[in-house]
Amino acid sequence: MKLGFGKTKQENPSPNLNAEPILATRLRELSGGDGDLYQAMSRLMFLDPKKIMISLEQVLKEAQEYEAQGNRLRAEVAYRVAGGIALYRGDLDGVNKYFSKAASFAGDSHPEYGFFLKRSSDAVAIARKYYEEFGSSIIQP
């Protein structure tokens, strides 16, 4: 059956199409069955940190520039990225600092920041195990 643009409809979709990726599955296991922690981790950490193409210093510089310009959304996103990099590095102080800044700009629109900050030491420990398992060596600050 033709669906448009010359593509044919797949009669029997692959059973793996809805399967959860192995990385996310392992993150769920490391979260110890805590659904809230898993949700926050899956939203805020980099599952593949090798794809980070910007330095923490550059992200922070941009965040501060956006903050000075009054661009709250871009400042929030930049601090969120900085928090993800700090999480990857295993830097608990950085995680708390940068996600706190992101939360201050986000208000109530991202409740995962607040939850994440309450459990930041657990999050750093889980991230460390995750990154060690998947060959993403931890970068020291």
Terminal C-alpha separation, the chain = 56
For residue range 16-60, list pLDDT tens digits in order.
444 357 777 888 888 888 888 888 888 899 888 888 899 999 999
3-state secondary structure of 48: coil
Closest CA to 89 of 132, 122, 58: 132
- Per-residue pLDDT band for 9 (boundaries 50, 70, 90) equals low
CA distances from 32 to 26, 35, 126, 136 (A): 10, 8, 9, 21
The phi, psi pair for 90, rounded to 5°, reads 80, 25
Residue 3 has pLDDT above 60, yes or no: no
Give 8's strand partners. 2
The answer to whether residues 60 and 107 touch, using CB atoms and an 8 Å cutoff, is no
For residue range 95-110, list pLDDT tens digits in order.
999 999 999 999 888 8
Joined tokens for residue 81: 């990225």
For residue range 107-141, list pLDDT tens digits in order.
888 888 988 899 999 999 999 999 888 765 544 44
